[in-house]
């Protein structure tokens, strides 16, 4: 196993936890997605009972979301129609549920469960509940990234308790794990045969690192960005965050195409932390090439910040910015394929109507 520096590990974990946690959205044209249908005018409020509700995971179409419910230690997965209130159970899990991710094409679901201490079970199902893969991996922590260029492939990184790690590729066409030789554990797919990572120096603490692309077939590496604070990869472009050089808390979000050209960029103030800067929750609406992101309304430290956040919309191609809400609590956000609605909340229990800038509560409150 390779060893990742503890200080850098903690810093990267903080960045990952502060940013968007779920996989990005790659839309399927409405004519090709059998689950898409004409949406009624209004989302129904309080359609999910609170007693067993654990969380909503993501959108499966413009009208349906994946809901996890728990009862007596068992987790069940439901497809919830947010317009007619219908709910269909598709799968049940006997072991402890840790996390779930919907595939970029909205056709399959990764379920991470924990059958025992230091062990992770990965289960891949489709929307009918059919199992495509089920396998156990020894791990203390686990990360994963679904390939948007080939949705039959996933990257899985398993950490031991001493933060040594192993990286695997899971290919659903031939369901088994294949070990990959890479120097860093936190990876994003850059194509169907290459990955992206920040090449952190384990000997010192830094808030920036070179952004490297590595071919997983021949091991060839290429530096994409010499100094990146944070990055994410979308099918048509790369997001890289840089220190802007204007003031200490000012950072530049750059969107870079396949040719290395900057499509657009915008400035944003970030909250400081002990050894890095806080990246607020965000999501990309692929259909409209729009980044939805929170921004702190005041400067300061993340650990002591008591102010509110604005919800912003940035059009990558036009380079235009709009403010959707001026004062909101900072909570995760996950947008529907066409961007008309966004799940919002610590359990994604609310929906933002992006056309009316209204917030609807999906979970029925107790009492």
Integer CA distances (angstroms), 75 to 34, 99, 100, 113, 365, in order: 26, 11, 11, 10, 21
Q: Of the candidates 104, 144, 90, which has an alpha carbon nearest to the alpha carbon of residue 120?
A: 144
| Parallel/antiparallel/unpaired status of strands 64-71 and 74-81 | antiparallel
85 inside domain: no
| Parallel/antiparallel/unpaired status of strands 108-116 and 271-272 | unpaired
Q: Of the candidates 140, 189, 197, 149, which has an alpha carbon nearest to the alpha carbon of residue 169?
A: 189
The 10s digit of each residue's pLDDT in 11-28 is 544 444 444 433 333 333
Which 3-state string (H, E, C) describes 108-145? EEEEEEEEECCEEEEEEEECCCCEEEEEEEECCEEEEE
How many domains does one find in the chain? 1
Contact in structure between 112 and 121 (CB atoms under 8 Å): yes
103 inside domain: yes
Spatial neighbors of 175 by CB under 8 A, at least 6 apart, are: 124, 132, 133, 135
Output the domain CATH number for residue 317. 2.130.10.10
208 inside domain: yes
Q: How far apart are CA 122 and CA 118, in angstroms?
A: 13
Domain of 199, in residue numbers: 2-29+95-280+282-330
7 inside domain: yes
66 inside domain: no
Name the stretches of the chain with pLDDT < 50.
6-7, 9-10, 12-34, 39
The predicted pLDDT at position 22 comes to: 36
The predicted pLDDT at position 30 comes to: 39
pTM of structure: 0.88
188 inside domain: yes
25 inside domain: yes
Q: How far apart are CA 332 and CA 327, in angstroms?
A: 15
23 inside domain: yes
The predicted pLDDT at position 204 comes to: 81
């Amino acid at each position: 196993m390779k060893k990742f520096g503890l200080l850098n590990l903690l810093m990267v974990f903080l960045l990952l936890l502060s940013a968007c946690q779920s996989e990005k959205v790659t839309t399927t044209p409405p004519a090709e997605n059998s689950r898409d249908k004409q949406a009624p005018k209004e989302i129904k409020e309080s359609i999910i009972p609170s007693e067993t509700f654990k969380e909503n995971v993501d959108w499966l179409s413009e009208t349906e979301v994946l809901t996890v419910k728990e009862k007596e230690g068992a987790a069940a997965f439901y497809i919830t129609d947010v317009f007619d209130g219908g709910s269909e159970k598709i799968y049940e899990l006997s072991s402890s549920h840790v996390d779930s991710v919907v595939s970029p094409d909205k056709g399959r679901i990764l379920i991470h469960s924990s059958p025992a201490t230091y062990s992770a079970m990965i289960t891949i199902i489709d929307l009918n509940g059919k199992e495509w893969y089920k396998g156990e991996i020894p791990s203390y922590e686990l990360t994963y990234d679904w390939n948007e260029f080939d949705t039959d492939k996933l990257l899985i990184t398993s950490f031991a308790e001493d933060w040594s790690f192993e990286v695997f590729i899971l290919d659903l066409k031939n369901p088994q794990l294949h070990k990959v030789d890479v120097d860093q554990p936190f990876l994003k797919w850059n194509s169907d045969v290459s990955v992206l990572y920040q090449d952190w120096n384990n000997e010192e603490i830094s808030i920036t690192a070179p952004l490297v692309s590595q071919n997983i077939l021949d091991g060839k590496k290429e530096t994409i960005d010499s100094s990146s604070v944070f990055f994410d990869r979308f099918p048509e472009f790369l997001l890289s965050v840089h220190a802007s050089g204007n003031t200490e808390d000012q950072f530049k979000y750059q969107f870079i195409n396949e040719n290395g050209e900057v499509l657009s960029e915008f400035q944003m103030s970030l909250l400081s932390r002990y050894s890095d800067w806080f990246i607020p929750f965000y999501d990309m609406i692929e259909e409209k090439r729009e980044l939805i992101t929170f921004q702190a309304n005041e400067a300061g430290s993340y650990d002591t910040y008591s102010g509110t956040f604005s919800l912003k919309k940035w059009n990558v191609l036009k380079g235009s910015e709009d403010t959707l809400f001026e004062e909101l609590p900072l909570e995760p956000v996950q947008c529907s394929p066409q961007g008309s609605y966004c799940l919002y909340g610590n359990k994604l229990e609310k929906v933002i109507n992006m056309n009316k800038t209204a917030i609807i509560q999906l979970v029925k409150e107790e009492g």
